[in-house]
Amino acid sequence: MLFQKVNSVELSHSAKWAFTTRRVVHEDVVGLTTNFVDAKTGDLVLARVEKIGSHKRIQLTSGRPSELYRGDLVVLVCGSRYAPDQYEGHAKIDPDGSDMLAGGGVIGVMRAANKRMAGPTRVIPVGLLCGRDGNPVNLADYSLPELTGSRNLTVIAAVGASMNAGKTTAVASFAHGLSRAGYRVATIKATGTGAYGDYNAYVDAGADYVADFVDAGMVSTYMEPISRIMKGTEILLDHAADNGCEIAIVELADGIFQGETAALLNRSDFRAGIDGFLFAAPCAASTAGGCSALRSMNIEPSIVTGMVSCSPLATKEAEAAARTHVVKRESLIDPVSAGALLARIRIQKKATEGTLGIKSAEQAA
């Protein structure tokens, strides 16, 4: 194993640091190691761009994109990725050449790709960034701390039939509508792959508190233990409450059949902490199928929306097939209707809790 000292100031200026590294204190980096075989998810990797592929830009910590050029030095984070519309990749560093799995700054080895994608941007690992203790710098070292005490939050989980179903647009729109109605709103991305797209959308919508799993020490939640994802989500919710928020909208990535998302939805302890579910779908068929799947998990969507709501005909089909009401984006943005949707979610939650209480009393009797 080779170890080389580095100047953190020079490294900060010479390399492009990805958005996923935004919590890392650059001054903590004092060296590099080439012990790639022991690299684990969350470790920071200095790499040199060898070949430009699908990701022609890197998302910087400043929140803007930067054009990539062959020979650029970049700081990425070792991690896995699950994206049906793009790549699946695993958290592994190949010293002979690794893949940039996401523009937000994830490095690993591609396993599968959507046929519409070109090959990934290839990078040559230079070394793992190390701290003063000689160990690789890891995102987990910069996680928000756990908080103690109770929290009083209305939590709404946003899920979708698939990628690009309209989840993020719905979350941002609802957050904007609730903010205009006078509520302090938190928007949280609980699962997915580190990137600034959703994060920036939440900020632009006027959310009072914005965070994602990176703030809980994870570059990606794919292949992470469910217990860690749940703990990370709890940390983010606690910080949302600590920042004075009354409502938290929590987005789960990809579709409801994605491994980690499905595992969370099927857990009664996860569902118990959710006051209402927002479901986004791209078409009538996915609306009907998705609502049926959610109901089989004991989840009745409080709000059904997404790309399907853009078409009056698709909306009519979806409402008939799924036995539900489809909410348009305009209703999510409008403060009066957004407030009414929130009130309905709270009433439904109390009614559900009351029913459960009656059943428990009957079982005890």
- Which of the 8 DSSP states describes residue 12? H
pLDDT digits (tens, 9 = 90+) for 105-138: 999 999 999 999 989 999 999 999 999 999 999 9
- What predicted TM-score, i.e. pTM, was given to this entire model? 0.93
Whole-angstrom distance, CA of residue 5 vs CA of residue 36: 17
Domains of the chain and CATH, by start: 3-142 (no CATH), 154-364 (3.40.50.300)
pLDDT digits (tens, 9 = 90+) for 184-204: 999 999 999 999 999 999 999
The CA radius of gyration of the chain, in Å to the nearest whole number, is 22
Confidence of residue 3 (pLDDT cuts 50, 70, 90): confident
Neighbour-count burial of 2, counting CB atoms closer than 10 A to its CB (0-12 exposed, 13-18 middle, 19+ buried): exposed
Residues with Cβ within 8 Å of 352's Cβ and at least 6 positions away in sequence, in order, are none
Whole-angstrom distance, CA of residue 291 vs CA of residue 311: 18
Structure-block tokens of residue 98: 């690794």
